Chain A
């Protein structure tokens, strides 16, 4: 059966043409991954080396998935029977071709899958850095900082520490501190925020350091303002020009002595203002004339003497009223006119410029500090890697060597999720494809859906997609053929239609690169319509989280009854919209999987471990100790806690716990409980430092019975906390007492793996790329948290270049219009993104979509959604239905909670823990460790080390002398010999200042030996003589490895001699010394003797120590 061709068949077929470059708009559910795979396969079938094709994905997950699917396709193409479904058939055919190429060119792809380059942009950057350790100055790919925030913070702190020094930046810091009301904490936070986003502004700052920067910035602003004015002028209907000027003149003439106001600019005006900054004041005068303070068009009734139209001059007044009435037909003009009031004059005020300049000078220093922090930690963040990779790669005009080399290798690039490209990535792509020509065999393939661009907070710039779609990549880059997919394989027709309809009302009509305005691209459903409403609205009047949560639970239940196997998702804009819902789900026994929803730092199990850690680390942390005593494993009642600490506000809790008087005050129950846990805690405190902190705390927690105190999830949480503790710990302590707490605030608890996967809870961002049978969107009426004001606002405008403004001083004065203007442009972008977020949420649904939200009645009794909420975005679509449906809600009542004290029963016991049987291990020793630990008394000073090195060298020299004869020593020139010995000592590790002494000692040892009669005898030629003889054998049942310094047979006796380079300690007599040493080495020498006897059975073996430094000889008999 051949299915009917789908709507966008042609586009799809074109997209896999390996000779042409494309940019593809692929809306939700259009199956773009399959398309990417097909193209990748098609390219593989043509290239010389598989690495010539590079695919860039947005996430690691996507990369893994793509690799997986590619390899599966290749594997199944080994099978000779083609699949039946048509789209699979195509994939199969392409994979066959790729396999053929693999075989022809012996790539061995299936054995060597790393040949497929499918990477995230981050890993691609890393691979560039790996090849340019020097040029990037990174010295290789650094470890990625687990919490870059900490490093930003350290950099900000270091910068702030320059205050009060003579270092550069100090004056700028002073200026900023004063500007911000001396709030160093604020400044620090702002600096941290700036660092987080430095990949966005850094390149701008480099460009504007110079003198003329002010001009440059102001001219950008000027252009922006003038473009606004131009738009305004365009919308002023020509018919009113004369009227407007006339009314303006009248009003101005009547009001000239009534005090300063904008419309006075209109005095005697007989020409219309142009779209020029110089005329801004005139436009503002017109606004003053026509608009109310709130920005609405004046009502004809409001034309009065205050506006310069006294009743006495009736014709003028009527003229004005007439003008106002006619303007009612030009709302666009009115709203643009209102905006002119806020427009800046395009000149920075002096104070503002000083601050901006200070920032421009300071921020590079901040980045420098960050580099130093990265350096000392040996870590960096993604941005650093990207920035440096790109810098090193060079630019389109000034490419690096590597780029040229890469260039030969890279033939085809595929980029997924192109709508979420940032400026940095865009530039990278431009550089990579610089010089590519259409038809030269190299191709670029960009896929994405601008309607789903929702990563602005990660610098995604949807305007770049729009620009590329219209104009190709860069000015001289490859031309890209635009393609549009329209089929939706995911959602049933009902949903597709609802989405088409709704979003044509919600999305803007016109493409606008600057604000990222994306009009809707309507989809064609492949799946047929399902019975019943595809999309249901659940409207609430007034915010009532629990009513909404009730409804959610209800919907989940209904979905379950309808079809227990269907996959349901609850998607929210922010995880903070969830507590009520999750609580109710649990309460109703509905299990769910929640990803990145619950903060670990809010979970009781985590907090207990936090307290335990702090208690073990700090005796004086009273709160931590109280918490440990109150946690389920001990769970003292308030009365007992009180009895323990009452009247002793300064005492530390461990001290109180050790006081028997105090303990006497406790109830019997408490005595037993404290009695159980106290020994554990005491052990924990005394073992501090000996074990890694994690191990210490975890052992303590286990010993306390921690796992018995929580449910399955609690134990999972605990595991995460311990893992975190492990990454933080430093030598049995924490870098700062609150570091664990801070870490917990950034981690989420793990999804409950036992839970039913058919109900998922997550944020809309997380749901991108997923699909569910039913999607429930609660909390649409909630507004997002507003962010803090940034130290610097910047905006890269596609036409006017960089716009910059510093924050206003913290002295309550007016916000600066430039700062405000940029803020407004940002907000515009944000609002458009909010609409796209809604689109993403809605298009996750396969079968059904539920919208839940609340609006509020305004003073006039009308229902209005909160500003900034998703509902506000949706409002044009649902307004009518909403009012009909909305249920009035009771004012929120917070029910009192009763929180019982949960206690581990007193009779709880540790389970029996048995060790596995372990086979006995045989220990192999050196002969010298027989004596164990106290061989040297340690920690008496480090000089011992040099002695040891001297010993080593003396041994070697004596061996040489024994082998080469005494003359070999005596005959050498002392000068070169000594310098050689010095080098040897140095190579052994004797510190330079100690060299002379060490050399002297070494020489003395050898010299004494060769001069002494005993020494000569030892070193002389003997029967069966050996130096450094390595023997192994059994002594007292243990295997011993011995190295015997010198052995020989003299007069029928086998001598075993060990050299010792020690000498009497200060004040010690030689006799005492000899006795001490003899005793000390007795066991060692005995074992040598034993080995030797076994080696040379029947011979008399004698052992002796020889002390070259003092020519002492000790015989063991």
Chain B
């Protein structure tokens, strides 16, 4: 206890009133008081009168019986927002940040009241004139309801004291006020008038104190060094260590983490926050905690949702059945994603869940949410609060896991803090619809802080303002960069600058900031006999300078304890990883390969890929695409062409169809294809489908007229027929899009492509497009005289491939005229088939044997479009510093 505190405690014990700048300091002084009383051997004592100034004012208001008049916190802010909104109504753009504006306006109002200033007669900017309008409206509303705001509170209370309505305290001590302000001035006047005394107790720098500055490379290093400094002090038995951080909000989570890592490293591995003996409990917005986030998501579920919203509901543990049905729900999620659509209706999702075995609970939950979403009534926020709460209960929130103590506190904050905060808006809000209430709720959840309940420990981390009046054995003040103390002036935009400067309002000018900075630094210097001011030397690529107010201090010679960061400990001594060759899985038992021609394609691109995709069945989850995704569009096209040719059968009939009949026919098949493809899953919006129908009709028409009708006569031999082909040791199921028979009896195999196609994959050294060759070389009864990709693409419809001879297919060369084949030394069709067969068999043999080397043809062709880069660890090839030794 330092001498300031002794004075405060003694005075409080004598019944004096101690007013503090904030609640934290009041709590702190009370705890010192308690300790002192214990030390004096007392078992009981009257609770001393140590309160924050705000608390004391409110208490007085209650005594006047008028506490109901006080419009404070969220309702007050909301009222400002409303008057601003009303003023802005009809203007072209809504304000981007309504709340921030309301805060500034509120602050301006407060300043005007506090400093007893008026804007009349001053020349104002447009912003300031707007403020004046808002303020007028705001005051009107307040008057109507007899509301009183924080700004008006001191005036009211002190007047009441003057009038004798309230008792005037005799002896008052002020603690933790860096600078005086008009309210304090008023307080002093009243009390002195009534013969009392007011003393502002300011700490004084102890001349023997050790006060140093300490440069650090960057903010990260500051935190790390502070934590190691603190650990060392703890090991030496220190009991109170203060860390003051000007920009606590930004660094909070890093500080919490790094201090935990250094002070209780095992806790950073434990995945259970509440188990650590060490806690800083710095708090975070309620909305960021698991249960509350889930609650907000559940409430936000509407008729339509994105796949990610659906996925959240399917995976969250905070719904009924979240544990028991987790496996089924995960699978449902995977299935849902396979539609590759961005949105799904809640109704459809519920239906799918109902159909899925073992997902009954989620189906019911979705039903509940759907009913909630349908509530179209208008209610007050408080009324909505009750509705929201009931919906959550019906959905089984907060789930069936037993709650950890942290979760318990979070869920409790929902009821004790969040919903009441929403209800408190009833005073200023009219009934509103559900979504508006929900957005208010969301906002409140984002603003209300959640702090795990934990006693104040030996290490305390506080912001610059909250540190007022606190006292530590050791103190580290971080982030003392050039623009922190003094900070650049930040006058309120709604008040003329001159007015602010003349009245010395906070932040009005650089001089004012410098004054303030000086008093803060002085008070920090007095807050401990051992103070370190640290500052970062750079941020990103910018060099920084220390605050000029500390740059003259001596540099500290800190002894830091060796790091306890588990990361570092795990790396020293460096572990040598064992390395071994592992590029082969077990051989395939049985000869059937599941997966068709894709197997060989992958095997050709990279053996590892084929192994994972077709033996381990590992794929990334499907990704949704806006509109109708490419794959579905491809499927649709295949379908339409299949239906069409099933119907029409040969080129002759195609040519006989008149233009109108043709278009009608195509249209019918398009309708049919769309109905069939989207049957079992989720049907996209009709507008999209209409566009797609038009597109398909046009495209198919273009293809049929430009290519099919113009080529030499053919008839359909096979359509989408399933085959089982034996390739070396492997039997593969293939579906051939189409085989045509030409007049001379030759057959050509076609594969539809909707993208830009290239023949390279057929004719290169590695066979990257095996599906056509597989059929061509198959030993079965078929025989093929040409293979081609049928590229069905707007404005670019054509065939690309290779044939026994020229002229079988439009613009498809015969083997003899193919340049790449000449380079390969392939001279005729039979040779080509032989070449293909050999390649295919090699691939098949490799696959069957379990060959799984990580060996992509090239980055561009294979890895760029591969989902396995994480599993195959190809990155290691690139980033490993030295080639590893391989043990077989």
Is the Cβ of B127 less than 8 Å from the Cβ of A915? no
Interface-central residue, A163, A174, A712, A987, by most chain B CB under 10 Å: A987
Is the Cβ of B618 less than 8 Å from the Cβ of A623? yes
- A675-705 contacts to B, CB under 8 A, are 683-684, 686-692, 694-696, 698-700, 702-703, 705
Q: Verify if A787 is at the interface (C-beta below 8 Å from B).
A: no
Q: What sequence of 0s and 1s flags, for each residue 412-437 of chain B, a beta carbon within 8 Å of any chain A beta carbon? A: 10011001110110110000000000
Q: Give me 28 A-to-B residue pairs in the complex whose CB atoms sit less than 8 angstroms apart, sorted by A's number.
A: A112-B514, A130-B490, A133-B101, A133-B493, A178-B695, A184-B688, A185-B627, A185-B629, A378-B96, A608-B870, A617-B315, A619-B326, A623-B867, A638-B582, A638-B850, A702-B268, A707-B571, A729-B288, A733-B316, A735-B308, A897-B855, A897-B877, A902-B884, A943-B386, A987-B68, A1030-B47, A1032-B34, A1032-B45
CA distance A990 to B405 in the complex (A): 28
Q: Verify if A933 is at the interface (C-beta below 8 Å from B).
A: yes
CA distance A737 to B330 in the complex (A): 13
CA distance A733 to B308 in the complex (A): 11
Is the Cβ of B623 less than 8 Å from the Cβ of A738? yes
Instruction: Chain A residues near B124: list those with CB within 8 A.
Output: 401
Q: What sequence of 0s and 1s flags, for each residue 51-73 of chain A, a beta carbon within 8 Å of any chain B beta carbon? A: 00000000011011101100100
Instruction: Chain B residues near A712: list those with CB within 8 A.
Output: 571
Q: Verify if A711 is at the interface (C-beta below 8 Å from B).
A: yes
With A913-B265, A918-B234 as known contacts, state yes or no: A139 contacts B293, CB within 8 Å: no
Q: What sequence of 0s and 1s flags, for each residue 381-425 of chain B, a beta carbon within 8 Å of any chain A beta carbon? A: 111011001100100011001001111100110011001110110
Q: Verify if A978 is at the interface (C-beta below 8 Å from B).
A: no
- Min CB distance, A991 to chain B, in Å? 2
Instruction: Chain A residues near B386: list those with CB within 8 A.
Output: 942-943, 991, 994
Q: Verify if B611 is at the interface (C-beta below 8 Å from A).
A: yes
- Min CB distance, A631 to chain B, in Å? 8
With A164-B688, A901-B579, A924-B31 as known contacts, state yes or no: A111 contacts B871, CB within 8 Å: no
Is the Cβ of B579 less than 8 Å from the Cβ of A708? no
CA distance A733 to B292 in the complex (A): 12
Q: What sequence of 0s and 1s flags, for each residue 156-200 of chain A, a beta carbon within 8 Å of any chain B beta carbon? A: 010010011000001000100110011111011000000000000
Instruction: Chain A residues near B615: list those with CB within 8 A.
Output: 642, 646
Of A188, A694, A919, A1095, the residue contacting B239 (CB under 8 A) is A919
**How many residues belonging to B are interface residues under a CB distance threshold of 8 Å?**
210
Q: Verify if B368 is at the interface (C-beta below 8 Å from A).
A: no
- Min CB distance, A293 to chain B, in Å? 22
CA distance A142 to B877 in the complex (A): 43
Is the Cβ of B879 less than 8 Å from the Cβ of A916? no
Interface-central residue, B101, B291, B570, by most chain A CB under 10 Å: B570
Q: Verify if A611 is at the interface (C-beta below 8 Å from B).
A: yes
- A696-731 contacts to B, CB under 8 A, are 696, 698-700, 702-703, 705-709, 711-713, 715, 726, 729-731
Is the Cβ of A1031 less than 8 Å from the Cβ of B617? no
Instruction: Chain B residues near A692: list those with CB within 8 A.
Output: 253, 284, 288
Q: Verify if A457 is at the interface (C-beta below 8 Å from B).
A: no
Q: Verify if A732 is at the interface (C-beta below 8 Å from B).
A: yes
- Give me the 10 closest cross-chain CB pairs, A-B, nearest first: A812-B795, A731-B293, A991-B382, A184-B627, A164-B687, A689-B290, A1033-B44, A620-B330, A139-B97, A1030-B47
Is the Cβ of B873 less than 8 Å from the Cβ of A899? yes
Pick from A13-21, A439-447, A903-911, A1074-1082 the stretch touching chain B: A903-911
Q: Verify if B54 is at the interface (C-beta below 8 Å from A).
A: no
| B234 nearest CB neighbor, chain A only | A916
With A579-B878, A688-B317, A711-B881 as known contacts, state yes or no: A1039 contacts B38, CB within 8 Å: yes
Interface-central residue, A170, A983, A991, A1091, by most chain B CB under 10 Å: A991
Q: Verify if A859 is at the interface (C-beta below 8 Å from B).
A: no
- Min CB distance, A53 to chain B, in Å? 15
Of B101, B575, B688, the residue contacting A163 (CB under 8 A) is B688
Is the Cβ of A941 less than 8 Å from the Cβ of B393? yes
Q: Verify if A894 is at the interface (C-beta below 8 Å from B).
A: yes
Instruction: Chain A residues near B278: list those with CB within 8 A.
Output: 915-916, 918
Interface-central residue, A71, A178, A939, by most chain B CB under 10 Å: A939
Q: What sequence of 0s and 1s flags, for each residue 606-631 of chain B, a beta carbon within 8 Å of any chain A beta carbon? A: 00000110011111110101111110
Q: Verify if A371 is at the interface (C-beta below 8 Å from B).
A: yes
Report the interface size class on chain A.
35 or more
Is the Cβ of B127 less than 8 Å from the Cβ of A620? no
Q: Verify if A374 is at the interface (C-beta below 8 Å from B).
A: yes
Instruction: Chain A residues near B545: list those with CB within 8 A.
Output: 67-68, 71, 113
Is the Cβ of B288 less than 8 Å from the Cβ of A142? no
CA distance A486 to B494 in the complex (A): 49
| A991 nearest CB neighbor, chain B only | B382
- Min CB distance, B230 to chain A, in Å? 8
Is the Cβ of A378 less than 8 Å from the Cβ of B97? yes
- Min CB distance, A807 to chain B, in Å? 14
- Min CB distance, B349 to chain A, in Å? 16
Instruction: Chain A residues near B794: list those with CB within 8 A.
Output: 181, 810-812
Of B273, B594, B875, the residue contacting A607 (CB under 8 A) is B875
Instruction: Chain A residues near B181: list those with CB within 8 A.
Output: none
Is the Cβ of B514 less than 8 Å from the Cβ of A939? no
CA distance A1028 to B385 in the complex (A): 31
Instruction: Chain A residues near B127: list those with CB within 8 A.
Output: 131-135, 402
| A604 nearest CB neighbor, chain B only | B875
Q: What sequence of 0s and 1s flags, for each residue 1039-1061 of chain A, a beta carbon within 8 Å of any chain B beta carbon? A: 10101000000000000000000
Is the Cβ of B580 less than 8 Å from the Cβ of A900? yes
| B490 nearest CB neighbor, chain A only | A130
- Min CB distance, A665 to chain B, in Å? 11
Q: Verify if B502 is at the interface (C-beta below 8 Å from A).
A: no
Q: Verify if B780 is at the interface (C-beta below 8 Å from A).
A: no
Instruction: Chain B residues near A914: list those with CB within 8 A.
Output: 265-266, 564
- Min CB distance, B674 to chain A, in Å? 13
Is the Cβ of B870 less than 8 Å from the Cβ of A627? yes
- Min CB distance, B545 to chain A, in Å? 7
With A132-B127, A604-B879, A638-B852 as known contacts, state yes or no: A689 contacts B263, CB within 8 Å: no
Q: Verify if A736 is at the interface (C-beta below 8 Å from B).
A: yes
| B257 nearest CB neighbor, chain A only | A695
Instruction: Chain B residues near A944: list those with CB within 8 A.
Output: 415
Of B48, B262, B404, B695, the residue contacting A690 (CB under 8 A) is B404
- Min CB distance, A560 to chain B, in Å? 18
Is the Cβ of A642 less than 8 Å from the Cβ of B96? no
Q: Verify if B312 is at the interface (C-beta below 8 Å from A).
A: yes
Instruction: Chain B residues near A181: list those with CB within 8 A.
Output: 695, 794
CA distance A1038 to B510 in the complex (A): 49
Instruction: Chain A residues near B231: list those with CB within 8 A.
Output: 916
Q: Verify if B805 is at the interface (C-beta below 8 Å from A).
A: no
- Min CB distance, B24 to chain A, in Å? 14
| A183 nearest CB neighbor, chain B only | B627
Pick from B479-487, B656-664, B729-737 the stretch touching chain A: B479-487
Is the Cβ of B886 less than 8 Å from the Cβ of A900? yes
Of A905, A933, A1030, A1033, the residue contacting B577 (CB under 8 A) is A905
Q: Verify if A530 is at the interface (C-beta below 8 Å from B).
A: no
Extra contacts, 11 of them, besides A611-B871, A715-B571, A987-B427 (Cβ < 8 A), are A64-B543, A133-B97, A134-B95, A619-B327, A626-B616, A645-B616, A707-B568, A938-B415, A986-B427, A990-B423, A1032-B47
Q: Verify if B208 is at the interface (C-beta below 8 Å from A).
A: no
Q: Verify if B578 is at the interface (C-beta below 8 Å from A).
A: yes
Instruction: Chain A residues near B494: list those with CB within 8 A.
Output: 133
Is the Cβ of A896 less than 8 Å from the Cβ of B855? yes
Instruction: Chain A residues near B594: list those with CB within 8 A.
Output: 649
With A812-B794, A1032-B45 as known contacts, state yes or no: A918 contacts B457, CB within 8 Å: yes
Q: Verify if A108 is at the interface (C-beta below 8 Å from B).
A: yes
- B816-837 contacts to A, CB under 8 A, are none
Q: What sequence of 0s and 1s flags, for each residue 602-631 of chain A, a beta carbon within 8 Å of any chain B beta carbon? A: 111001101100000111111100110010
Instruction: Chain A residues near B584: list those with CB within 8 A.
Output: 638
Q: Verify if B541 is at the interface (C-beta below 8 Å from A).
A: yes
Is the Cβ of B44 less than 8 Å from the Cβ of A111? no
Q: Verify if B114 is at the interface (C-beta below 8 Å from A).
A: no
Is the Cβ of A731 less than 8 Å from the Cβ of B287? yes
